[in-house]
Chains A and B, each alone.
Chain A
Amino acid sequence: EAQVTQNPRYLITVTGKKLTVTCSQNMNHEYMSWYRQDPGLGLRQIYYSMNVEVTDKGDVPEGYKVSRKEKRNFPLILESPSPNQTSLYFCASSPQGAYQPQHFGDGTRLSIL
């Protein structure tokens, strides 16, 4: 089954404790991206990647890092999480770019205390 898998689905942690949210897709997609969703703000793109070793900033990249060492994986790293990063995070992928339908994961709800 074609899918985008995020882990963990839920995480409660404390300020400053580094965390990684993993994202994996099994569709051989080149384009992957991360979004955060906050009430009233819709989804805002954090980072995206056109292919292995190619990443670019989205609209809200501050406080986040990403890497794309393999085509299928696109982890989101919060080196020093802060409470304003408490949010619902989504990973998505598409064959080649933003101009195509995106396949979304089920989301990761992060609470930073």
Chain B
Amino acid sequence: SQQGEEDPQALSIQEGENATMNCSYKTSINNLQWYRQNSGRGLVHLILIRSNEREKHSGRLRVTLDTSKKSSSLLITASRAADTASYFCATDAFAAGNKLTFGGGTRVLVKP
């Protein structure tokens, strides 16, 4: 089953603009992670936010977590062509043991 659902499924923006994508999940979580996948390649970890945290930053990335709404957002500021990729959220939960559950992903195209 998919715990996380990303929205939108696809996003097209101009270089320099901000990109925002959302992840919703169904059950209580311990942590939520965001990953990037360039076409056909392995996933690369971007950022991890714990259930007791509300916001985290890493470079041009900003992640928020709202456990009351069971949702998270990933903001990429001042996007670059190199940010073109698919972005996935992943959650782990006490109830799920040591499983990691991914959402369907958001495809981001940054046009030069």
- Residues on A lying within 8 angstroms of B by beta carbon are 4, 31, 33, 35, 40-45, 48, 50, 56, 58-59, 88, 90, 92, 97-107
Choose among B30, B43, B99, B103 the residue that contacts A102 (Cβ–Cβ < 8 A).
B43
Instruction: Determine whether the beta carbon of B48 is less than 8 Å from that of A59.
Output: no
Instruction: Determine whether the beta carbon of B88 is less than 8 Å from that of A99.
Output: no
Choose among A43, A58, A97 the residue that contacts B43 (Cβ–Cβ < 8 A).
A43
Instruction: Determine whether the beta carbon of A99 is less than 8 Å from that of B42.
Output: no
Choose among B6, B35, B40, B102 the residue that contacts A107 (Cβ–Cβ < 8 A).
B40
> From residue A79, how far is it (CB to closest CB) to chain B in Å?
23
- Residues on B lying within 8 angstroms of A by beta carbon are 1-2, 4, 6, 30-31, 33, 35, 40-45, 48, 88, 90, 92, 97-105
In the complex, which residues of chain A have a beta carbon less than 8 angstroms from the beta carbon of B43?
A: 43, 90, 92, 102, 104
Residue with the highest number of chain A CB atoms closer than 10 Å, among B6, B92, B97, B100: B100
Given contacts A41-B2, A48-B98, A56-B97, contact A101 B103 (CB under 8 A): no
> From residue A31, how far is it (CB to closest CB) to chain B in Å?
7
Instruction: Determine whether the beta carbon of A48 is less than 8 Å from that of B99.
Output: yes
In the complex, which residues of chain B have a beta carbon less than 8 angstroms from the beta carbon of A40?
A: 104
Distance in angstroms between the alpha carbons of A99 and B35 in the assembled complex: 13
Name the prevailing secondary structure of the A interface residues: strand
Instruction: Determine whether the beta carbon of B88 is less than 8 Å from that of A43.
Output: yes
> From residue B61, how far is it (CB to closest CB) to chain A in Å?
14
What is the chain B residue whose CB lies nearest that of A109? Answer: B40
Distance in angstroms between the alpha carbons of A43 and B43 in the assembled complex: 10
Distance in angstroms between the alpha carbons of A101 and B36 in the assembled complex: 12
What is the chain B residue whose CB lies nearest that of A88? Answer: B40
